[in-house]
Structure 1
Amino acid sequence: MMLKTKFFTCFSLVAFALSFGQMQEYKYKRSLIGVQDSWHQVSLPDDIFEKLLPNLADIRVYGITIKKDTIEASYVLQLNDDKRVTTQVPFKILNTSHNNKGYYITFEVPSEATINQLQLSFKLFNFDWRIDLEGSHEQKEWFSILEDYRILSIKNAKTFYEFTNLIFPNSNYRFFRLLIKSTIKPELKSANASYNAIKQGVFKDYAIKHWNIKNYKAEKRTDIEVELFQAVPVNHVKVHVNVAYDYYRPTTIQWVSDSIKTQKGYQYNYRTLTKNTLNSIEKTEFMFENTIAKKLKITIENQDNQPLTIEQVSVKGSVYDVMIRFTEPANYYLAFGHSTAFKPSYDVNRFISKIPETISRITLGNEEIIYKEPKATKSPLFENTLWLWAILIVIIVLLGGFTFKMMKSK
């Protein structure tokens, strides 16, 4: 019995040392203030991301109990991005006709379901048309939904761009009538109706430290370099253009992944976030996967056109929430900063639907550096070199005496 007790005590001490050692593997910690329930959530502040791995794998929640035991709390990392759900709505084309105003296409939605988008595809390319869209319950009285809405197609050796999606407020009619104001017959290849529901995410607008525009006439391009005050998660970039004419420019958004210091200064390595088209037809906001970045570069291909007048650049990103499950009373900390950490594997990530819908928020304390026990260093055998010289002299004397005796015996 005594042996079992000693074994259990030793095992507990080892377990405590290992758990405490896990927390010591991280560089920083911030106390969690206001823990009272089984579930809480806390938003990650901007200044934490520069100290995290790009995949945010080095986040842990540790608690110190009254008995000084260290426990780990499970959490779910939630990105508060827009949630889009698209429902396809079946419909059929009833008839087509035309007059001096243009070409009419009438659709029927048998279920009278709500729709807010029509995706059109035509056999023709290179058109610029204006359209009207109306809705009716019995085809006797028509109600205006869209007026003078613009759709466009550009196709050549360098470019292929189409904007033929009709986006409008939620509409619930059995019949829809489309007027395409064209002198050429618009042969419709396909058409789809849908209802698009968007649950708005939580975004944060980031202040820009400075930005710079460079126009390269020979290369026919414009580079916009943007620097934020610190590395933060970004997933939206908007370029504000101030011109009175239509434009269509292929555009690439990149971020600085790392840099190398050379004799001529820093050389930056870029990675592409997205490629799209900056144009005057649709609301252009470049969206991409959340990426922790501090410096961005926007490249606009001007082709044979004059550079655009850029008024401003806006950058924003989705907010991260950490939803934490607490199982026992303790003083809890958010630990972070570990260059070789792996993403944790928690059961709660497999049962997200069971997380309460309403979770109270808690706050973070000030950042603290986690104290690490200094590693014991072995002292050299001979800290004083005089000892080494004394031993060498003794060895030389012994070897000399031994040699002298050998010579004398001969």
Structure 2
Amino acid sequence: MRRFSFVMVLCAALVAAAPTDFNPSVWRYWVPLDPPKPGLTGESFARVTLPSSILARALPGLEDLRLVDDSGGAVPYVLIVEGSRQKETRVPVTIVDTGVVPGQYQQLVCDLGQGNAVSNEVQVETASQNFRRRVDILASADRRKWVDLKSGSHIFDSHEEFVFRNLRLVYPETTYRYIELRIWLDGGEPLKITGVRVSRVVRKDVAPEKLPARIVRRQEDPERKATDVYFETDLENPHAEACVLAVTQENFQRGAEIAYRDKEGIWRGAGTGEIYRFKIGNQLEENLRIPLVDFTARACRLRVWNRDSPPLDVVSAVLERLPRVVVFSCNPPKNYRLFFGCSTAQRPSYDLELAVKRLDITDLPRCASGALTANAGFKVREESRPWTERHPALL
């Protein structure tokens, strides 16, 4: 409570000192913000999630957003990409009972001590490279009787075209003292395990919005040993954080990258990742998600590096977008409008960001954005270049 009070006092001071100059004539659009329900009894932080109608018409970097109150003055805000959050608690661990069963598997046992520590994740540390191993995870209270926690997980490392690795093993939350990793050799050599990190990870997920994309062309590149798949979406400025593929094959592991053409027609990288699917019996482990960095292009190219394996059959692609949230200090007697669509706007900088960083915005009161309105007072700016530059032929 004292922490929240401090944030509100800081917020009030920042709002009081905020600049109020705002010229609405250079903004094309605005939307009203409906007040939170139930209504606020006093000034409080509030949030509004930006819909597709705003994201499509604002500048790609969203630097043209301006929040305005009844007085016509600009109101400080913070723009946040609301992603999933996690808290990791490390568990002290001692490695015991390491060994190798020739031709079958290597094992190590993690001793978490006598404190009934809760764990659900192990990160393997290894000096080995270019491998893929199947891992079974077992647990015991006394190192005599073991139970299966999770079978058929995989760890891998690739240092070929790109560097990709996944050494994280996730299993159901447990208080067992001993966690055994049984790493199957499957014809390979034992890994050089240098350590492990055991944790309890609590995740608070935010569901992304799914944005459909359509495949328009596919092309094989024998020289690069790659498949290029071109796809596009109908949305302007999709602001995607990931591309999720649908693939028909099983038991594969490939490097993949997403690129887009800039205004000069040059391909620019937007994200890379490792896609894989391992299915052994009833056990399935896969990752078909390629992370992106605030992707705003409508069309892009997926390149899958096949090496010497047959091309994958990519049948569809979906973009994922996390919520874009505007957080501001809402004063109930006032009404607010959000302006956007100014081609010359620069990103504002407000001290309010210092206060908002202290908040968990998940449960803040929520405003809704109203109907999109064309700004009747919008005026196209005339060129500001000198007359001699605009009419060189007359000189």
| Alignment map for 1:6-405 (pairs within 5 Å) | 22-34=23-35, 36-37=39-40, 38=43, 39-64=45-70, 69-99=71-101, 102-110=105-113, 111-153=115-157, 158=161, 161-182=164-185, 184-231=189-236, 232-244=238-250, 246-258=251-263, 268-281=265-278, 282-327=286-331, 329-352=333-356, 353=358, 358-372=363-377
CA contact (8 A) 1:256 1:294 kept: no
Deviation track 1:29-80 (CA, whole Å, cap 9, x = no partner) reads: 112233653343221111222322232121111123xxxx423323222211
| Distance in 2 (alpha carbons) for counterparts of 1:23 and 1:298 | 41
Aligned-pair CA distance for 1:280: 2.6
| Distance in 2 (alpha carbons) for counterparts of 1:80 and 1:33 | 21
Equivalent position amino acid for 1:48 in 2? I
Query: What secondary structure is seen at the aligned counterpart in 2 of 1:297?
Result: strand
Query: What secondary structure is seen at the aligned counterpart in 2 of 1:49?
Result: helix
Distance 1:138 1:54, change over 3 A: same
CA contact (8 A) 2:53 2:372 kept: no
Query: What secondary structure is seen at the aligned counterpart in 2 of 1:339?
Result: coil
Aligned-pair CA distance for 1:180: 2.9
Aligned-pair CA distance for 1:161: 4.8
CA contact (8 A) 1:290 1:318 kept: no
| Distance in 2 (alpha carbons) for counterparts of 1:375 and 1:163 | 52
Query: Larger deviation: 30-39 or 138-147?
Result: 30-39
Equivalent position amino acid for 2:26 in 1? E
| Distance in 1 (alpha carbons) for counterparts of 2:315 and 2:34 | 43
Query: What secondary structure is seen at the aligned counterpart in 2 of 1:351?
Result: helix
Equivalent position amino acid for 2:86 in 1? R
Q: CA RMSD in A?
A: 3.1
Deviation track 1:283-319 (CA, whole Å, cap 9, x = no partner) reads: 2311233332322221112233322111211211101
CA contact (8 A) 1:273 1:289 kept: yes
CA contact (8 A) 1:234 1:293 kept: no
Equivalent position amino acid for 2:274 in 1? T
Distance 1:124 1:355, change over 3 A: closer
Aligned-pair CA distance for 1:234: 0.2
Equivalent position amino acid for 1:26 in 2? W
CA contact (8 A) 2:20 2:75 kept: no
| Distance in 2 (alpha carbons) for counterparts of 1:150 and 1:92 | 22
| Distance in 2 (alpha carbons) for counterparts of 1:137 and 1:198 | 26
| Distance in 2 (alpha carbons) for counterparts of 1:218 and 1:348 | 53
Equivalent position amino acid for 1:359 in 2? L
Query: What secondary structure is seen at the aligned counterpart in 1 of 2:76?
Result: strand
Gaps of 5+ in 1: 1-17, 261-267, 378-410
| Distance in 1 (alpha carbons) for counterparts of 2:311 and 2:69 | 57
Query: Larger deviation: 354-363 or 322-331?
Result: 354-363
Distance 1:256 1:172, change over 3 A: farther
Distance 1:334 1:289, change over 3 A: same
Query: What secondary structure is seen at the aligned counterpart in 2 of 1:223?
Result: strand
CA contact (8 A) 2:119 2:198 kept: yes
Distance 1:122 1:34, change over 3 A: closer
Greater share of helix = 1
Query: What secondary structure is seen at the aligned counterpart in 1 of 2:371?
Result: strand
Gaps of 5+ in 2: 1-18, 279-285, 383-395
Q: Normalized against structure 2, the TM-score is what? A: 0.77
| Distance in 2 (alpha carbons) for counterparts of 1:322 and 1:159 | 37
Distance 1:219 1:370, change over 3 A: same
Deviation track 1:98-124 (CA, whole Å, cap 9, x = no partner) reads: 557543322211243222222223444
| Distance in 2 (alpha carbons) for counterparts of 1:320 and 1:173 | 40
Deviation track 1:165-208 (CA, whole Å, cap 9, x = no partner) reads: 32212222211222233375444222221222221124100122
| Distance in 2 (alpha carbons) for counterparts of 1:280 and 1:243 | 8
Equivalent position amino acid for 2:183 in 1? I
| Distance in 1 (alpha carbons) for counterparts of 2:249 and 2:57 | 41
CA contact (8 A) 2:85 2:204 kept: yes
Equivalent position amino acid for 1:332 in 2? Y
| Distance in 2 (alpha carbons) for counterparts of 1:359 and 1:97 | 52
Equivalent position amino acid for 1:84 in 2? Q
Query: What secondary structure is seen at the aligned counterpart in 2 of 1:189?
Result: strand
Q: Percent sequence identity over matched residues?
A: 19
Query: What secondary structure is seen at the aligned counterpart in 1 of 2:242?
Result: strand
